[in-house]
């Protein structure tokens, strides 16, 4: 028996990282929003690694923050360790990584959801999507509730027909042994969407009290306070260490001797897993020439003895997992608290989406997160934010919000999803961003805060902070460009001698002098040549000065790129009627229906000759119209 349970502008199904960002974004933009989750206790659950950030992922988190999202602020409040990685490399690939207190992260996010104006949270399993005239009308739940809405965002993670696999054992389940969602993917198929099947996994958890840390290498957090959010206060809290150990030939022998019981090799697992985060047994087989693999033992929180064994994702039988663990240095007497497992799940092939993350077939239906074939909390949260924004834009009758590849890592992520053929769970990498020197984690606020303000997601506090920082940055830049160093100036001579830098032969601005690799702003401050106490401004000035030539070069590449992006392809273009297209290109163009020549060029199977055919077709249409 069905009953009317409520009417909303936007409904979000799923309370993971994508769902939280989507629901908060829609509510903050003024839409009456409902978040439906299978279990309120498991909102913002981290079923796998206890961390946020890392290469490319930190850039996403900073971009979420700049647009007015929540993930950065939440991890700043709840981390147990934070450090900057890739510090020996250039700023384009440097990134923050934080260890999370898993339970506190959930508690803090749940608190944020329940105190958000315009947002209701309910515990229910959505089963059927309701349509009228091929437009979203809402959802029905397992208990018979009917919730009506103008827009619907699905952020169901790995729950759609989830199947847990441990050795010979396989049973329906979601991550962390939660209930799976068994019927919603059938509703998607009934709507005409194409569904695929992927697999992911997680390692065993172990008891801290049974670990011998004396046989491991300690990895501490950075001593100076760090934050993801541009507006978070600097934390003063005790950090917990992570620990590095390694597998060994005995470990690998245990795995090889039990491949006949490994579901990854016996055919029990059908879904394709992530290449960049493979199962441990897969690593042992594929890299048989290696005698060891790195393993990181990471705390899951301050109030628990559970520790996460990073690098040991596995679906081996439970008894084999214990043998593997006890063959590793420092874990000889370890007690296993939770068994590692694989999980298979349904996902929506993302070529069926627009760059707004709205499905092309069903107006008002948006998808975000692992349902789109991605992996990672950060990728999920970024998609959730964009899907929530665009669901609100749709409900309010406004144009969709699109980020280009040249504007944000979020733009790279979404463009890759809708343009490329996914044959494995997608993970964002710095190498996927052509303009990564422009899309650094340190300048995300300068790139995106104004966009977030225009959407209504950046509040007055953040806006005033941004405006003040931007003003300080410009003032300090002008100061450096209009202050000159002269040959034979005693202060300058002392500085150059101290830094083993060649003497000056003509006057030079402090800005240009800063471009010497051995000179930095700290040197200027030590010699009373320049003063600035704002760490974010100092970081920006150093990077902008030292990489000025490379930045200008990438900006020129972006201008060329945008010429292609601005050549829009009509939505009603009949690719079957265009002569000269290769068959493979024709098929991909019909599947994806790219929005621009630039997006068409990035499709697998579309070559330069096909692009020329499309350009000729556009010119024919232009002449006919004129």
Closest CA to 38 of 14, 6, 11: 14
Say whether pLDDT at 1 is over 80.
no
- pLDDT grade, residue 55 (50/70/90)? very high
Which structural domain, as residue segments, surrounds residue 585? Answer: 567-625
What's the CATH code of the domain at 114? 3.50.50.60
For residue 208 the two structure tokens come to 């801290």
Q: Are 32 and 22 in contact (CB under 8 A)?
A: no
Express each pLDDT in 71-108 by its tens digit.
999 999 999 999 999 998 999 999 999 999 999 999 99
Q: Which of 550, 576, 609 is the last residue of a domain?
A: 550
Question: What span, in angstroms and rounded, lies between the C-alpha atoms of 157 and 18?
Answer: 8
Tell me, yes or no, whether 461 lies in a domain: no
In this structure, are 230 and 305 located in the same domain?
A: yes
**Domain-embedded: residue 467:** no
505-520 pLDDT, tens per residue? 999 999 999 999 999 9
Domain containing 619 — which CATH number? 1.10.150.570
Q: Are residues 427 and 536 in the same domain?
A: no
Query: How far from 388 is each of 9, 102, 363, CA to CA, in Å?
Result: 11, 24, 14
| Position 189 pLDDT exceeds 80 | yes
d(CA 247, CA 280): 10
pLDDT tens digits, one per residue of 574-598: 999 999 999 999 999 998 899 899 9
Q: Is residue 66 part of a domain?
A: yes
pLDDT at 615 over 80: yes
| Same domain flag for 56 and 111 | yes
| Residue 466 counted as domain residue | no
| Residue 476 included in any domain | no
Element (H, E) at 110: helix 102-114
Q: Give how far Cα 607 sits from Cα of 37, 141, 587, Å.
A: 44, 46, 13
pLDDT score recorded for residue 271: 87
Whether residues 530 and 586 fall in one domain: no
Residue 221 and residue 182 in one domain: no
Distances (CA, A) of 237 to 64, 78, 240: 24, 10, 10
Q: DSSP E strands: which ranges in 370-472?
A: none
pLDDT at 421: 82
454 pLDDT band (50/70/90 cuts)?
very high
- At residue 275, the pLDDT reads 83
Judge whether residue 279 has pLDDT over 80: yes
Please, what's the largest Cα pairwise distance for the chain?
Answer: 90
- Which pLDDT band, with edges at 50, 70 and 90, does 18 fall under? very high
Which CATH number does the domain housing residue 516 bear? Answer: 1.10.10.1800
Residue 184 φ then ψ, to 5°: -65, -35
- For residue range 217-276, list pLDDT tens digits in order: 999 999 999 999 999 998 888 999 999 999 999 999 999 999 999 999 999 998 888 888
Residue at which a domain ends, from 341, 357, 373: 341
Same domain, 503 and 429: no
Q: pLDDT at position 622, please?
A: 87
| Whether residue 527 sits in one domain with residue 407 | no
Q: Is the same domain home to 173 and 270? A: no
Cα(198)–Cα(70) distance, integer angstroms: 28
Domain finish residue from 307, 341, 375: 341
Number of domains in the chain: 4
Confidence of residue 604 (pLDDT cuts 50, 70, 90): confident
Q: How confident is the model at residue 475 (pLDDT cuts 50, 70, 90)?
A: very high
Identify the helix (H) or strand (E) that includes residue 534. none
The answer, yes or no, to whether residue 479 has pLDDT greater than 90, is: yes
- To 5 degrees, how large is the angle CA 476–CA 479–CA 480? 90
The residue among 135, 538, 529 whose CA lies nearest residue 361 is 135
Confidence of residue 431 (pLDDT cuts 50, 70, 90): very high
As a whole-number percent, the residues of the chain with pLDDT over 70 amount to 100
- Are the beta carbons of 353 and 360 closer than 8 angstroms? yes
| Average pLDDT for the chain | 95
CB atoms closer than 10 angstroms to residue 114:
13
Burial class for 98, CB neighbours closer than 10 Å (0-12, 13-18, 19+): buried
Confidence (pLDDT) at 557: 93
- State the pairing for strand pair 145-154/3-13: parallel
CA atoms within 13 A on the CB side of 264: 28
- Kindly state the average pLDDT of the residues 137-166: 97
CATH for 329: 2.40.30.260
Same domain, 101 and 179: yes
Is the pLDDT score of 46 beyond 90?
A: yes
Do 303 and 351 lie in one domain? The reply is: no
Whether residue 462 lies inside any domain: the answer is no
Q: Mean of the pLDDT values across residues 392-405?
A: 97
Residue 561 lies in a domain: no
DSSP string, 556-614: HHHHHHHHHHTSBPPTT--GGG-TT--HHHHHHHHHH--SBHHHHHTSTT--HHHHHHH
Are 606 and 541 in the same domain? no
Does residue 104 contact residue 78 with C-beta atoms inside 8 Å?
yes
Going by C-alpha positions, the residue among 123, 157, 120 that lies closest to residue 141 is 123
Task: With respect to residue 270, please indicate whether it lies within any of the assigned structural domains.
Answer: yes
Residues 209 and 152 in one domain: no
pLDDT over 80 (residue 129): yes
Q: Which of 26-40, 58-72, 591-605 has the lowest mean pLDDT?
A: 591-605
CA of residue 563 relative to chain centroid, distance: 27
Confidence of residue 457 (pLDDT cuts 50, 70, 90): very high
CB 151 within 8 A of CB 9: yes
d(C-alpha 503, C-alpha 274), whole Å: 53
């Amino acid at each position: 028996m069905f009953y009317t349970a409520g009417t909303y502008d936007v409904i979000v199904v799923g309370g993971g990282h994508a769902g939280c960002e989507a629901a908060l974004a829609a509510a903050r933009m003024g839409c009456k929003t409902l978040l439906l989750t299978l279990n309120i206790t498991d909102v913002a659950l981290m079923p796998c690694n206890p961390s946020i950030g890392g290469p490319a992922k930190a850039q996403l988190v900073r971009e979420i923050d700049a647009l007015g999202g929540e993930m950065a602020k939440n991890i700043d409040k709840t981390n147990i360790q934070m450090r900057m990685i890739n510090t020996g490399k250039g700023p384009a690939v440097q990134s923050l990584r934080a260890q999370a207190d898993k339970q506190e992260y959930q508690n803090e996010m749940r608190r944020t959801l329940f105190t958000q104006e315009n947002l209701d949270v309910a515990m229910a399993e959505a089963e059927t999507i309701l349509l009228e005239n091929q437009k979203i009308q809402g959802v029905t739940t397992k208990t018979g509730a009917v919730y009506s809405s103008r827009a619907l965002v699905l952020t169901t993670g790995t729950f759609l027909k989830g199947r847990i696999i441990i050795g010979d054992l396989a049973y329906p389940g979601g991550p962390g042994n939660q209930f799976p969602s068994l019927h919603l993917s059938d509703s998607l198929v009934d709507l005409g969407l194409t569904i695929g099947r992927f697999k992911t996994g997680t390692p065993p958890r172990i008891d801290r009290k049974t670990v011998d840390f004396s046989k491991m290498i300690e990895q501490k957090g950075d001593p100076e306070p760090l934050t993801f959010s541009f507006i978070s206060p600097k934390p003063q809290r005790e950090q917990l260490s992570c620990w590095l150990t390694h597998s060994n030939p005995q470990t690998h022998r245990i795995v090889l001797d039990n491949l006949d019981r490994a579901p990854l090799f016996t055919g029990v697992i059908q879904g394709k897993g992530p290449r960049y985060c493979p199962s441990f047994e897969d690593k042992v087989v594929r890299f048989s020439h290696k005698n060891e693999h790195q393993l990181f033992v990471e705390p899951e929180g301050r109030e628990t003895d559970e520790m996460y064994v990073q690098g040991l994702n596995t679906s081996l039988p439970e008894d084999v997992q214990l043998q593997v663990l006890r063959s590793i240095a420092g874990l000889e007497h370890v007690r296993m608290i939770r068994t590692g497992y694989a999980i298979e799940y349904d996902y929506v092939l993302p070529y069926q989406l627009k760059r707004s993350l709205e499905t092309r077939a069903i107006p008002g239906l948006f998808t975000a997160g692992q349902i789109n074939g991605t992996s990672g909390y950060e990728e999920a949260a970024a998609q959730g934010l964009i899907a929530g924004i665009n669901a609100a834009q749709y409900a309010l009758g406004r144009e969709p919000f699109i980020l280009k590849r040249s504007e944000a890592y979020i733009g790279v992520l979404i463009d890759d999803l809708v343009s490329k053929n996914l044959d494995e769970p997608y993970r964002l990498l710095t190498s996927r961003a052509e303009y990564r020197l422009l899309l650094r984690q340190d300048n995300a606020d300068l790139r995106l805060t104004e966009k977030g303000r225009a959407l209504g997601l950046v509040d007055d506090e953040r806006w005033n902070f941004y405006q003040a920082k931007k003003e300080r940055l410009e003032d300090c830049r002008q100061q450096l460009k209009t202050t000159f160093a002269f040959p034979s100036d005693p202060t300058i001579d002392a500085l150059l001698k101290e830094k083993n830098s060649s003497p000056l032969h003509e006057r030079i601005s402090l800005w240009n002098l800063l471009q010497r690799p051995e000179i930095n702003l700290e040197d200027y401050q030590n010699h009373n040549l320049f003063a600035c106490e704002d760490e974010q401004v100092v970081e920006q000035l150093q990077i902008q000065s030292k990489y000025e030539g490379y930045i200008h070069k990438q900006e020129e590449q972006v201008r060329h790129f945008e010429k292609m992006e601005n050549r829009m392809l009509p939505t009603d273009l009949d690719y079957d009627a265009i002569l000269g297209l290769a068959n493979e290109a024709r098929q991909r163009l019909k599947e994806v229906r790219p929005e621009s020549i630039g997006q068409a060029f990035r499709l697998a199977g579309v070559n330069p000759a096909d692009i020329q055919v499309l350009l000729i077709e556009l010119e024919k249409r232009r002449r006919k119209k004129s």
